[in-house]
Amino acid sequence: MLTAALYIAFISIAAAIAICMTRLVRGPHAPDRVLAFDMLYTNTIALMVILDIYYSTSVFFEAALLIALTGFVATAAFARYLARGKVMD
Amino acid sequence: MRKLCPFPTLSMALAGTWLVLAGISPLHLAVALLAALAIPLSIAPLLAMLPGVRSLPAAMRLVARVLWDILIANIIVARLVLGPVSRLRPAFVNVPVTVTHPSAISLFMSMISITPGSIPLALSPDARTMLVHVLDLEDEEAFIAKVKERYERPLREILEC
Amino acid sequence: MLLEILISALLLVGSFFLLVGSIGLGRLPDCFMRLHGPTKSTTLGVGGMLLAAVLSSIPDGLSLREMLIALFLFITAPVSAYLIGQAGLRRRLPSRAPLPEDFPD
């Protein structure tokens, strides 16, 4: 049963990533693309967690943590740049 | 003791985080102890600006309420997103802010963004009003009253500011 | 057995809300409305997933590390939503709700 749940979760996350990718490509504005990127890295974290449970290891944990940290900084920097034209004052 | 460890809660949280991340062993206990003592001291000027917490039980109750609201908010937003889009009534609302401490304001803004379908987008220069985008607004007055009653009042009671 | 049911349920709930957030991102008509999907689903969607991971670690020694990611995302989700919203306001993106004339900075 756990395997079935893992497969369903895997497929939903894959669909979610596909939707984020279309939004990333279609835009239409730069903030939309940043938002799509934000959702994309969140979904990737979920994917890592599914793989972790599936292989019952924890090798993906560090990757998920790093994606969470760098993803937030990247989103913040992109959004700041779009709002002010520079990242830091 | 007070001088060596001026922020016991933060020190405990830091040591706990380290042990959760690294696992429990004598070496990691030593590193955790070092982090718990050194980090608060090195950022003491920054910590001095934070408001104190008046009552821990009330703060815990607020945290529990926020966690519960996250669940409700997700279900409501899921219904709005999957339902007919043309029936949504998005609106910008100006919410008056009465808490004055910067930490209290940022906590208030974070809490608003997890209530059903509302995201704070801007704060006026005098920090008296905040602009909130609501996904499906029924009654502006009721929305403002709800967030102020549910989040701002407990914040003002809990934080010393 | 009970643990397995709980893990499966959390996985399904988490992935459902992440999918809903992404559908919101793809479906809603303007940038400010699209902000709502990702902000909400990050919290509960990833929170549920990570809780499932914590529970699945119980047989070989409970590890709470996954909750750190969830905590980090709980704290950062409102901040990134706020920053993207600021970018949208400053660029005066098209919006179904009438944009305020002079928004505070």
Residue B141 has pLDDT above 60, yes or no: yes
Q: Who contacts B7 (Cβ-Cβ below 8 Å, separation ≥6)?
A: B40, B47
Question: Would B2 be classed as within a structural domain?
Answer: no
Question: Would B106 be classed as within a structural domain?
Answer: yes
Residue B67 and residue B35 share a domain: no
Residue C104 has pLDDT above 70, yes or no: no
Hey, which of B49-58, B89-98, C88-97 has the most confident mean pLDDT? B89-98
Residue B105 and residue B68 share a domain: yes
Residue B88 and residue B132 share a domain: yes
Q: Nearest Cβ partner of C96 from B21, B90, B120?
A: B90
Residue B42 and residue B60 share a domain: no
Task: For residue C27, give the H/E element and its range.
Answer: helix C2-27
Residue B148 and residue B113 share a domain: yes
Mean pLDDT, range B97-111, rounded to an integer: 83
Residue B60 and residue B32 share a domain: no
Residue B117 has pLDDT above 80, yes or no: no
Residue C57: list chain A partners with CB under 8 A: 58
Question: Would A69 be classed as within a structural domain?
Answer: yes
Question: Would B3 be classed as within a structural domain?
Answer: no
**Which residues of chain A, if any, have pLDDT below 50?**
none
Question: Would A28 be classed as within a structural domain?
Answer: yes
pLDDT tens for each residue of C22-63 = 988 888 888 888 888 888 877 888 888 888 888 887 777 777
Structurally, chain A folds into a number of domains equal to 1
* Helices C2-27 + B56-82 axis angle, to 10: 60
CATH number at residue B94: 3.30.70
Question: Would B95 be classed as within a structural domain?
Answer: yes
DSSP annotation string for A24-62? HHH-SSHHHHHHHHHHHHHHHHHHHHHHHHHTT--HHHH
Question: Would A78 be classed as within a structural domain?
Answer: yes
Q: Nearest Cβ partner of B135 from C36, C45, C85?
A: C36
Pairing, β B129-134 against β B91-96: antiparallel
Arithmetic mean of pLDDT over chain B: 81
Residue B78 and residue B32 share a domain: no
pLDDT of A89: 64
Structurally, chain B folds into a number of domains equal to 2
pLDDT of C68: 83
Question: Would A67 be classed as within a structural domain?
Answer: yes
Query: What are the C-alpha distances in Å from B135 to residues A15, B36, B87?
Result: 24, 43, 11
Distance from CA of C56 to the nearest CA of B (A): 16
Question: Would A33 be classed as within a structural domain?
Answer: yes
Question: Would A89 be classed as within a structural domain?
Answer: no
Return the higher-pLDDT residue of B115 and A2: A2
Residue C79: list chain A partners with CB under 8 A: 72, 76
Chains that touch B (3 or more CB pairs under 8 A): C
Identify the domain containing residue B77 by its residue range: 56-158
C28/B124 CB distance under 8 A:
no
Residue ranges covered by each domain of chain C: 2-90
Chains that touch C (3 or more CB pairs under 8 A): A, B
Return the higher-pLDDT residue of A66 and C103: A66
Residue B91 and residue B139 share a domain: yes
Provide the ipTM.
0.85
Pairing, β B91-96 against β B118-123: unpaired
DSSP designation for B159: B
Distance from CA of C78 to the nearest CA of B (A): 5
CATH number at residue A45: 1.10.287
Residue B121: list chain C partners with CB under 8 A: 32, 82, 85-86, 88-89, 103
